[in-house]
């Protein structure tokens, strides 16, 4: 299946990526090839094969419900471009 | 509402009462300083790994059992991707395909009718952060916002119903039933006004009798069951008006404004919903064995619906009385204790749901914090049975017992409110009543036997309720013959 410029623009918008026209053209080509490979995989008969959601043969890894405070919250806050009253400042949300 | 009928489905988000967050060890304590309960995991720093809190799974299994759901032997987590400032990782870890539980039901009572509401699914996810809007008290008109991630990663259990509710009243009853159930299971404190239980309503209308569903809207921002009912009522009215005016209903999210009583469309910068879910690679699959389920099942006490059924069947008392007893914290234990000592469940229930509830409600008290004890209530009931006090006097005595904590015997002794057992004293009162009421006496003698009721009432009045009505009746008949 060949992708169109419109598909690339849609995915780019969902991922908040700003692409130049040149990048879009390159990506249409590259993503189409990846899609083509998926089509090859789709031809494999997977009847009776359980879908895999995880690469490791592991299950049920738990923590006990115990609160342990993290002591360096200031360093996390320091990542914010702007902080006010210990909160991250963000631009207005609604138009 | 004659031409149209409404169809309602609800999504309930319940914060689970764990000590720590769902995927990290941060505290879930509410009300701490902003961004105090955060760590590299819940704020999505590079290279961190989430690890599932076992208690969260146990609480969800408990709930799924109580809601008669099928618990999936194998379930997985997924990333739901969207951009919003309260979501630090730009995805929420949730469950999409293969949720923890599906296909349950709960029974609700509305105006004396029992309705079965099906549960579509129950899944686990993490809560988002809290936004504080600056320059306005709401998101509209604010100039910028501040983000507090203390709530980010607090475990949420989402309970999704089927569109089985036909009216906003049913929707309200459903939320009340789920809230009571979660509280009794001890998995959520279910305080809508504090946001520990949140509810979104999906509502559509269709011509009466139509089998197809109309286009639905999602109503958000309700913080009480009353607000939910009001919001759904308002949204149904809006949809009917729109359809009658030839408009098309648009699938959208609408916020309820409690001040205006209207729902308004919220157009955010957010892209149309395209969450691109995919399995969360950082969390391994969850397998729930039959043994684990059985172990959890054994830890579940009696559920409200089971208790109502048992009280009605075992004690033969009225359903509405059971509901009143169960609504009041600690009253069920008091009720069962009194029955063990005294028997006669309906009589105990009448006192608990009548005078005692009225007193507790007026004083905003719980029975266990009141001065009434099981033994003193039973003592009073025994005095009525012995004929020492009348039922009418007992209603005054119980208030004094609740006020002072004294026993009925003490109160009766102090006030001299015992029943008159001396027939001579009673006959004196009866003769006085006969003398003062010649007309009813004549009526009785002329064959109007019903007028004796009036005369009995007069004797009760003269004796200030201290006479035993059936004895007065007997003695009156004798005096008048």
DSSP state string for B384-402: HHHTSS-HHHHHHHHHHHH
Range of the domain at B137: 11-194+269-292
Tell whether B181 and B324 lie within a shared domain: no
Residue from B383, B382, B321 nearest B356 by CA: B321
Tell whether B139 and B275 lie within a shared domain: yes
ipTM of this complex prediction, to 2 decimal places = 0.89
**CA–CA dist B157, B57 (Å, integer):** 10
Tell whether B114 and B164 lie within a shared domain: yes
Which of B235, B259, B292 is the C-terminal boundary of a domain?
B292
Residue with tokens 């914290």: B329
In a domain, B245, yes or no: no
A contact test, residue of B43, B137, B146 with most A CBs within 10 A: B146
Tell whether B325 and B436 lie within a shared domain: no
Token output for B230:
């009001």
The answer, for A20 touching chain B at a CB cutoff of 8 Å, is no
Residue from B118, B171, B183 nearest B7 by CA: B171
**CA–CA dist A44, A53 (Å, integer):** 18
A contact test, residue of B94, B269, B285 with most A CBs within 10 A: B285
The answer, for B265 touching chain A at a CB cutoff of 8 Å, is no
Tell whether B187 and B48 lie within a shared domain: yes
Token output for B376:
């003193």
The answer, for A6 touching chain B at a CB cutoff of 8 Å, is no
Mean residue pLDDT of chain A comes to 91
Residue with tokens 């004797």: B459
Give the closest-approach CA distance of B269 to chain A in angstroms: 6
Tell whether B176 and B316 lie within a shared domain: no
In a domain, B223, yes or no: no
Which pLDDT value is given to residue B269?
A: 43
Which pLDDT value is given to residue B237?
A: 95
Tell whether B445 and B391 lie within a shared domain: no
Q: Do residue B285 and residue A68 have CB atoms under 8 angstroms apart?
A: no
Domains and CATH numbers, chain A: 5-42 (1.10.20)
- Residue-wise pLDDT tens for chain B (481 aa)? 468 999 999 999 999 999 999 999 999 998 889 999 999 999 999 999 999 999 999 999 999 999 999 999 999 999 999 889 999 999 999 999 999 999 999 999 898 888 999 999 999 999 999 998 887 667 777 789 999 999 999 999 999 999 999 999 999 999 999 998 998 898 999 999 889 999 999 999 999 988 899 999 999 889 999 999 999 999 999 999 999 999 989 888 899 998 899 998 876 544 456 888 999 999 999 999 999 999 999 988 888 778 888 999 999 888 888 888 887 778 988 999 999 999 999 999 999 999 999 999 898 888 988 999 999 999 999 988 987 888 888 998 999 999 999 998 888 888 776 677 677 788 888 888 888 888 888 888 888 888 888 888 888 888 877 777 788 888 888 888 7
Which pLDDT value is given to residue B301?
A: 80
Segment A55-75 mean pLDDT: 94
**CA–CA dist B36, A72 (Å, integer):** 9
**CA–CA dist B205, B78 (Å, integer):** 33
In this structure, are residues B43 and B254 in contact, taking their beta carbons and an 8 Å threshold? no
The torsion angles phi and psi of B439, rounded to 5 degrees, stand at: -65, -55
The torsion angles phi and psi of B71, rounded to 5 degrees, stand at: -95, 125
Which of B242, B261, B292 is the C-terminal boundary of a domain?
B292
Tell whether B96 and B186 lie within a shared domain: yes
Cα atoms in the 13 Å half-sphere on the side-chain side of B48: 14
**CA–CA dist B190, B182 (Å, integer):** 7
Tell whether B282 and B309 lie within a shared domain: no
Q: At what angle do helices B225-244 and B168-185 cross, to 10 degrees?
A: 150
Which of B415, B443, B470 is the C-terminal boundary of a domain?
B415
The answer, for B358 touching chain A at a CB cutoff of 8 Å, is no
Cα atoms in the 13 Å half-sphere on the side-chain side of B223: 7
Provide long-range contacts, Cβ within 8 A and 24+ apart, for B109-117.
Answer: B109/B173, B109/B319, B109/B323, B110/B167, B110/B169, B110/B170, B110/B173, B111/B169, B115/B164, B115/B165, B115/B170, B116/B164, B117/B161, B117/B162, B117/B164, B117/B165, B117/B170, B117/B174
Kindly give the residue spans of alpha helices, DSSP state H, lying in chain A.
Answer: 5-14, 21-42, 73-77
In a domain, B208, yes or no: no
**CA–CA dist B257, A59 (Å, integer):** 45
Residue from A78, A42, A41 nearest B38 by CA: A78
In a domain, B202, yes or no: no
Q: Which residues of B touch A13 (CB under 8 A)?
A: 271
Through-space distance between the first and last CA atoms of chain B, rounded to whole angstroms: 65
**CA–CA dist B476, B190 (Å, integer):** 59
Q: Do residue B267 and residue A95 have CB atoms under 8 angstroms apart?
A: yes
**CA–CA dist B402, B376 (Å, integer):** 10
A contact test, residue of B54, B86, B139 with most A CBs within 10 A: B54
The answer, for B313 touching chain A at a CB cutoff of 8 Å, is no
Indicate the pTM of the whole model. Answer: 0.75
Q: Which residues of A touch B55 (CB under 8 A)?
A: 64-65
Which pLDDT value is given to residue B267?
A: 62
Which pLDDT value is given to residue B1?
A: 47
Which pLDDT value is given to residue B341?
A: 92
Enumerate residues 6+ apart whose C-beta is below 8 A from B201: B8, B9, B10, B171, B218, B219, B222, B228, B231, B232, B235
Locate the chain B residue with the closest alpha carbon to A66.
Answer: B20
Residue from B27, B188, B171 nearest B122 by CA: B188
Tell whether B274 and B141 lie within a shared domain: yes
Instruction: Name the B residues in 213-252 with CB < 8 Å from any A CB.
Output: none
Count of A-B CB contacts under 8 Å: 136
Tell whether B52 and B143 lie within a shared domain: yes
Tell whether B19 and B129 lie within a shared domain: yes
Q: Give chain B's domain count.
A: 3
pLDDT at A31 over 80: yes
The answer, for A22 touching chain B at a CB cutoff of 8 Å, is no
Q: Considering CB atoms only, which of B34, B139, B283 is closest to A85?
A: B34
pLDDT at A67 over 90: yes
In a domain, B247, yes or no: no
The answer, for B26 touching chain A at a CB cutoff of 8 Å, is yes
Q: Considering CB atoms only, which of B36, B43, B54 is closest to A63?
A: B54
Instruction: Name the B residues in 91-130 with CB < 8 Å from any A CB.
Output: 98
CB atoms within 10 A of CB B192: 20
The answer, for A63 touching chain B at a CB cutoff of 8 Å, is yes
């Amino acid at each position: 299946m060949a992708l169109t410029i419109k598909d690339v623009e849609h995915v780019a918008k969902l991922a908040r990526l700003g692409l130049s026209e040149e990048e879009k053209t390159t990506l249409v080509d590259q993503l189409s090839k990846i899609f083509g490979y998926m089509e090859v995989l789709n031809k494999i008969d997977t009847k009776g094969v359980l879908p895999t959601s995880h690469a490791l043969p592991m299950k049920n890894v738990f923590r006990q419900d115990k609160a342990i405070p993290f002591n360096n919250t200031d360093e996390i806050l320091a990542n914010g471009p702007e902080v006010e009253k210990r909160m991250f400042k963000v631009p207005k949300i609604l138009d | 509402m004659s031409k149209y009928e409404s169809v309602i489905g609800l999504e309930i988000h319940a914060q689970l009462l764990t000590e720590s967050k769902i995927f990290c060890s941060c505290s879930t304590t509410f009300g701490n300083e902003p961004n105090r309960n955060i760590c590299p995991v819940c704020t999505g720093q590079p290279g961190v790994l989430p690890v599932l809190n076992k208690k969260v799974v146990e609480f969800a299994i408990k709930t799924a059992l109580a809601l008669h759901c099928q618990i999936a032997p194998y379930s997985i987590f997924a990333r739901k991707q969207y951009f919003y400032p309260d979501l630090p990782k730009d995805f929420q870890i949730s469950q999409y395909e293969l949720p923890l539980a599906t296909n349950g039901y709960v029974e609700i009572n509305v105006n004396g009718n029992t309705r079965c509401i099906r549960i579509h699914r129950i899944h686990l996810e993490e809560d988002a952060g809290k936004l504080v809007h600056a320059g306005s008290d709401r998101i509209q008109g604010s100039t910028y916002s501040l983000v507090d991630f203390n709530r980010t990663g607090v475990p949420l259990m989402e309970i999704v119903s089927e569109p089985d509710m036909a009216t906003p009243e049913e929707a309200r009853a459903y939320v009340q039933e789920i809230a009571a159930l979660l509280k009794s299971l001890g998995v959520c404190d279910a305080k809508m006004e504090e946001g520990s239980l949140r509810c979104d309503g999906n509502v559509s209308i269709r011509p009466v009798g139509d089998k197809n569903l109309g286009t639905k809207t999602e109503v958000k921002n309700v913080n009480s069951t009353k607000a939910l009912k009001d919001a759904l009522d308002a949204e149904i009215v809006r949809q009917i008006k729109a359809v009658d005016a030839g408009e098309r209903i648009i699938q959208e999210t609408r916020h309820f404004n409690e001040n205006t009583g209207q729902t308004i469309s919220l157009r955010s910068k957010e892209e149309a919903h395209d969450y691109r879910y995919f399995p969360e690679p950082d969390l391994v699959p969850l397998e729930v064995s039959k043994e684990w389920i059985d172990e959890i099942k054994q830890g579940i006490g009696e559920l409200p619906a089971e208790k109502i059924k048992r009280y009605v069947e075992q004690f033969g008392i009225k359903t509405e009385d059971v509901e009143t007893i169960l609504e009041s914290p600690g009253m069920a234990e008091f009720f069962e204790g009194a029955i063990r000592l005294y028997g006669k469940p309906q009589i105990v229930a009448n006192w608990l749901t009548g005078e005692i509830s009225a007193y507790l409600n007026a004083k905003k008290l719980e029975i266990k914090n009141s001065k009434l004890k099981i033994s003193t209530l039973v003592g009073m009931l025994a005095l009525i049975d012995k004929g020492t006090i009348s039922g009418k006097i007992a209603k005054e005595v119980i208030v004094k017992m609740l006020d002072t904590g004294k026993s009925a015997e003490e109160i009766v002794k102090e006030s001299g409110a015992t029943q008159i057992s001396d027939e001579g004293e009673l006959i004196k009162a009866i003769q006085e009543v006969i003398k003062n009421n010649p007309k009813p006496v004549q009526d009785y003698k002329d064959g109007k036997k019903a007028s004796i009721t009036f005369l009995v009432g007069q004797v009760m009045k003269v004796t200030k309720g201290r006479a035993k009505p059936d004895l007065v009746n007997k003695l009156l008949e004798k005096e008048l013959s």
